[in-house]
Amino acid sequence: MRVASTDLTVLINGESGVGKEAFSKIIHAQSSRKHNNFIAINCGAIPGGTINSELFGHEKGAFTGATAERKGYFETVDGGTIFLDEIGEMPLDTQAYLLRILESGEFIKVGSSKVLKTNVRVLAATNVDLLDKIKNGKFREDLYYRLNTVPIRVPALKERREDIYMLFRKFATDFADKYRTSPIQLEDKARLLIENYSWPGNIRELRNMSEQLSVLAEDRFLTAERLIELVPQITQRNLPAISKQDGSNSDSFQEREILYKLLFDMKNDMNDLKSLVFELIKSNDLSVPNVKKLKQLQAHNSNRSEGLGSRPDSPSVSDQLSSLSNHDDFDFKEEEHNQPIFIPSESAHDTYDSMEIVEESLSLEDMEKDMIKKALKKHKGRRKDASIDLGISERTLYRKIKQYEI
């Protein structure tokens, strides 16, 4: 409503079927041009060889088949509004002509040398990302910023579910008047079904479904069961999934499979390590203290030390531990839900050498290279068997061997 009273160029963005043309008609109807002509043009539906003639007109004999002079849309709708839908499909040469009209209002017919003037308000719409088309060299950047004076984004129907039932009632009433029947009504469960459907076709799909129900439904009050019978797809849920668009995705998927396999092997190694530690504790009859009670005791002593200060007569932590270890309610045996702590004996220091902790490499390439080496070693260099074990194609394995110089 705010932009309608101006002559600013408007670019309407939104998915297919959200009603972009309806918004352009609202802008025209509320503008000072409402008594002049309005025309909607689908740029994607006009062949590239004739779109210049359609928009700007042509002179007689300008090309084969041009048997008479023809006025274009920008000439016939002078003083009105032109809505250019799917503007992203407009050819590059036509974009240059449109840019000149937007900047100066001037255009030239096909086959003519005479400059004509027009006073037309341009409203454009697209369901694609024009910035991506600019990067790919399929849309002029200067035209984009000239059209995008006032951007209006129309959200998809799934982003404004509170509008679904209201729009359904509107369409149901319209079709009831058209077919001279009572409007379709929905019970609460049926209403939830339409509100939770993804509506990939947006308002266009909702309108078609309303018309379908108005014609096919015998009962004007629809239950959820009856709605599912008439519109089976209403229960579908379009969840996101990994799609394969080209060959590169196939390779990346196989590489992820190698990574998953490596993570599963690491998990199995951790389980084996846990089993080994528990077996050592059990076979050597090692003591496992109650960690929870130890922490409680340490917190208690910390609080006491803050309150009492460093009194010489206060017992030390080690004295309290030794006294509590003989107490009946302080159990140092392993409990089911406590994490065990490995406590080696004094002779263990003489048995084991000192260790150096080496940080493990987290590089995916190093992991992948290591897995391929292990698979080749396991199958004694047989690449076909190794590729099957790794879950990748033999061709991919050859490429990886060459890449890592294995």
Please indicate, yes or no, whether residues 48 and 127 belong to a single structural domain of this protein. Answer: yes
Please indicate, yes or no, whether residues 96 and 190 belong to a single structural domain of this protein. Answer: no
Task: Tell me which H or E stretch contains 42.
Answer: strand 38-42
Please indicate, yes or no, whether residues 103 and 199 belong to a single structural domain of this protein. Answer: no
Domain finish residue from 211, 235, 259:
235
pLDDT tens-digit series, residues 332-372: 444 444 455 555 555 444 555 555 555 556 677 888 888 88
- Residue 85 sits at φ, ψ, to 5 deg, of -85, 150
pLDDT tens-digit series, residues 14-49: 999 999 999 999 999 999 999 999 999 999 888 888
pLDDT tens-digit series, residues 54-79: 999 988 888 887 888 889 999 999 99
Does 331 score more than 50 pLDDT? no
- Report yes or no on 135 lying in a domain: yes
pLDDT of amino acid 171: 95
What is the percentage of the chain residues whose pLDDT exceeds 90? Answer: 44
Please indicate, yes or no, whether residues 109 and 219 belong to a single structural domain of this protein. Answer: no
Strand partners, 110: 58
CATH of the domain at 259: 1.10.10.60
- Report yes or no on 43 lying in a domain: yes
pLDDT tens-digit series, residues 126-147: 999 999 999 999 999 999 999 9
What is the extent of the structural domain holding 164? 158-235
- Report yes or no on 44 lying in a domain: yes
Closest by CA to 198, choosing from 243, 156, 168, is 156
pLDDT of amino acid 288: 61
CATH of the domain at 227: 1.10.8.60
Please indicate, yes or no, whether residues 57 and 169 belong to a single structural domain of this protein. Answer: no
**Cα 44 vs. chain centroid, distance in angstroms?**
26
pLDDT of amino acid 310: 46
- Report yes or no on 347 lying in a domain: no
- Report yes or no on 257 lying in a domain: yes
- Report yes or no on 133 lying in a domain: yes
Domain finish residue from 119, 137, 154:
154
CA distances from 35 to 8, 22, 56, 351 (A): 18, 17, 22, 99
Helix (H, G, I), strand (E, B) or coil at 133: helix
Strands 38-42 and 81-85: parallel
Please indicate, yes or no, whether residues 56 and 115 belong to a single structural domain of this protein. Answer: yes
The predicted model scores a pTM of 0.56
pLDDT tens-digit series, residues 294-328: 566 666 666 655 554 445 554 555 555 455 445 44
Does 179 score more than 80 pLDDT? yes
Domain finish residue from 137, 154, 171:
154
- Report yes or no on 274 lying in a domain: no
Please indicate, yes or no, whether residues 16 and 95 belong to a single structural domain of this protein. Answer: yes
Does 406 score more than 90 pLDDT? no
Strands 185-186 and 221-222: parallel
Helix (H, G, I), strand (E, B) or coil at 5: coil
Q: To 5 degrees, how large is the angle CA 160–CA 201–CA 88?
A: 95
Looking at residues 102-126, what average pLDDT do you find? 91
Contact 140, 26 (CB under 8 A): no
Helix (H, G, I), strand (E, B) or coil at 153: strand
Helices (H), 83-135: 92-104, 130-135
pLDDT of amino acid 334: 43
Q: To 5 degrees, how large is the angle CA 35–CA 41–CA 44?
A: 170
Please indicate, yes or no, whether residues 388 and 255 belong to a single structural domain of this protein. Answer: yes
CA distances from 330 to 282, 304, 323 (A): 21, 20, 10
Q: Between 283 and 12, name the one with better pLDDT.
A: 12
Please indicate, yes or no, whether residues 134 and 73 belong to a single structural domain of this protein. Answer: yes
Please indicate, yes or no, whether residues 196 and 74 belong to a single structural domain of this protein. Answer: no
* pLDDT band at residue 391 using 50, 70 and 90 as cut-offs: confident
Question: Over the chain, what is the mean pLDDT?
Answer: 81
CATH of the domain at 41: 3.40.50.300
- Report yes or no on 280 lying in a domain: no
Which range among 49-58, 105-114, 276-285, 368-377 shows the weakest confidence by mean pLDDT? 276-285
Please indicate, yes or no, whether residues 130 and 109 belong to a single structural domain of this protein. Answer: yes
Helix (H, G, I), strand (E, B) or coil at 130: helix
d(CA 257, CA 395): 15
Number of domains, the chain: 3
